[in-house]
């Protein structure tokens, strides 16, 4: 179970699950500004800068990362490792969408879209409609922030402001979604914030809305580290934050549902009318020369898989 979650909790961009979108966007911003970027997200820094979470905006300052490295090299290595992970994850799912539109798909749904900027930064073919589903305050923050910087979508973007635990299929259909048209779905940075039964329900709903030829990509929840390891890392992060004067934010681990009976995503899809393929994120990181060796103890296998599937 998750330590801080309830069945009806809600958030904006600076709190709870919403703040994790800022964390991910910070990684994309840092990668974009690096010497040899794997991805390009020119809007990530804009979105992070005004979010009001404290720690993630501060990490846009490279000198702060240098301070962390001097205080605790292992924590700094974990930061670099996770930044690389986010870059590799983004790169993988960008390629998924490129393949989907190359195959003729023109209907896209990004679930729990957060500060995802693909509607703005990717080169979508004419006639593509992209739906973003997330909490109302999260979508409003992104729309208002990018509009203030004169950033416009490169596809027809339709925001569906609803919690995924509510009747989002009805809201999506009301926004113009066509269940008869093949769709490219993305569940990135999402499943770990759902309980096991919520994950099953989500995939049931997606399957019911997916015409033959539809595609889905998902980041699995991964295998979680031990309670002892999480506590150790939390205490070290807290010490670093206090030393460099960062405001304390929520511990991401407290937001995650650590359900041992969670269904393997690839196997579930194979059993429900999809043809799935899985790639471990560790293998993808090594393939792209983005792996950082850190002493992860029992966390060595805790990273996710990237699963893609086609609807039969």
d(CA 256, CA 191) in angstroms, rounded, equals 9
Torsion, Cα 55 59 61 66, to 10 degrees, reads 110
Mean pLDDT of 34-61: 82
Q: Which residues pair with 274 in a beta bridge?
A: 311
Average pLDDT for 231-247: 66
Predicted confidence at residue 149, as pLDDT, reads 97
Q: Which of 84, 93, 144, 139 is nearest to 118 (CA)?
A: 93
**At residue 31, does pLDDT exceed 70?**
yes
Q: Where are the domains of the chain?
A: 16-311
pLDDT at 18 over 70: no
Tell me the C-alpha distance between 146 and 88, whole Å. Answer: 24
What pLDDT was estimated at residue 17?
67
What CA–CA distance (Å, rounded) separates 86 from 44? 13
Q: Does residue 1 have a pLDDT over 70?
A: no
Lowest mean pLDDT among 55-59, 233-237, 239-243: 55-59
Do the strands 156-161 and 184-187 form a parallel or antiparallel pair, or are they unpaired? unpaired
Q: Are 137 and 43 in contact (CB under 8 A)?
A: no
Buried b (16+ CB within 10 A) or exposed e, 76-101: bbbbbbbbbbbbbbbbbbbebbeebb
Among the listed ranges 38-52, 132-146, 190-204, 213-227, which one has the minimum average pLDDT value?
A: 213-227
Q: Would the pLDDT of 42 be above 50?
A: yes
CA distance 137 to 12: 5
Distances (CA, A) of 154 to 67, 91, 169, 261: 39, 18, 24, 40
Task: Supply the Cα-derived Rg of the chain in whole angstroms.
Answer: 19
- At 78-131, the pLDDT tens digits run 778 888 999 999 999 999 999 999 999 999 999 999 999 999 999 999 999 999
Range of weakest confidence among 55-59, 196-200, 217-221, 261-265 = 55-59
Q: Which range is least confidently modeled, 157-166, 254-263, 264-273? A: 254-263
Strand partners, 107: 129
Q: Is 310 helix (H, G, I), strand (E, B) or coil?
A: strand
- Percent with pLDDT over 90 in the chain: 63
Cα 125 from chain centre:
23
Q: Residue 261 — very low, low, confident or very high, per pLDDT cuts 50/70/90?
A: confident
At residue 67, the pLDDT reads 74
Q: Lowest mean pLDDT: which of 46-60, 236-250, 293-307?
A: 236-250
Q: How confident is the model at residue 19 (pLDDT cuts 50, 70, 90)?
A: confident
Q: What does CATH list as the number for 16-311? A: 3.40.50.150
Closest CA to 90 of 109, 67, 115: 115
pTM, rounded to two decimals:
0.89
Stretch 216-233: mean pLDDT, rounded? 73
What pLDDT is attached to residue 21? Answer: 85
What are the pLDDT digits (tens) for 168-212?
Answer: 999 999 999 999 999 999 999 999 999 999 999 999 999 999 999
Q: Are 111 and 186 in contact (CB under 8 A)?
A: yes
Mean pLDDT for 263-268 is 97
pLDDT confidence of residue 246: 62
The H-assigned helical ranges of the chain are: 16-32, 44-49, 55-58, 62-71, 73-102, 118-121, 136-148, 168-174, 196-208, 227-244, 265-270, 281-287
């Amino acid at each position: 179970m998750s330590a801080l979650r309830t069945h009806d909790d809600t958030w904006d961009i600076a709190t709870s699950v919403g703040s994790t979108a800022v964390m991910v966007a910070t990684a994309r911003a840092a990668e974009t500004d690096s010497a040899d970027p794997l991805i390009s997200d020119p809007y990530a820094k804009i979105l992070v800068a005004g979010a009001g979470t404290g720690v993630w905006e501060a990490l846009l300052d490279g000198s702060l990362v240098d301070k962390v490295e001097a205080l605790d090299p292992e924590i700094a290595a974990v930061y670099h490792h996770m930044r690389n992970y986010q870059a590799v994850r983004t790169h993988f799912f960008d390629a998924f969408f490129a393949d989907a539109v190359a195959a003729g798909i023109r209907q896209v749904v990004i679930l729990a879209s957060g500060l995802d900027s693909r509607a703005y930064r990717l080169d979508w073919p004419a006639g593509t409609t992209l739906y973003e589903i997330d909490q109302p305050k999260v979508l409003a923050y992104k729309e208002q922030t990018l509009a203030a910087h004169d950033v416009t979508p490169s596809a027809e973007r339709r925001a569906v402001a609803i919690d995924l635990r509510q009747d989002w299929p009805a809201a999506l259909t009301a926004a113009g979604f066509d269940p008869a048209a093949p769709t490219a779905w993305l569940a990135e940075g999402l499943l770990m914030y759902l309980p096991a039964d919520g994950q099953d329900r989500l995939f049931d709903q997606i399957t019911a809305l997916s015409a033959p030829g539809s595609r889905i990509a998902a980041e699995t929840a991964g295998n979680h580290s031990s309670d002892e390891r999480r506590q150790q890392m939390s205490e070290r992060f807290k010490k670093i934050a206090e030393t460099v004067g960062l405001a304390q934010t929520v511990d991401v681990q407290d937001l995650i549902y650590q359900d041992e009976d969670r269904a393997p995503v690839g196997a579930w899809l194979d059993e429900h009318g999809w043809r799935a393929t899985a790639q471990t994120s560790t293998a993808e990181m090594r393939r792209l020369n983005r792996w950082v060796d850190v002493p992860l103890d029992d966390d060595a296998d805790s990273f996710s898989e990237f699963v893609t599937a086609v609807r039969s």
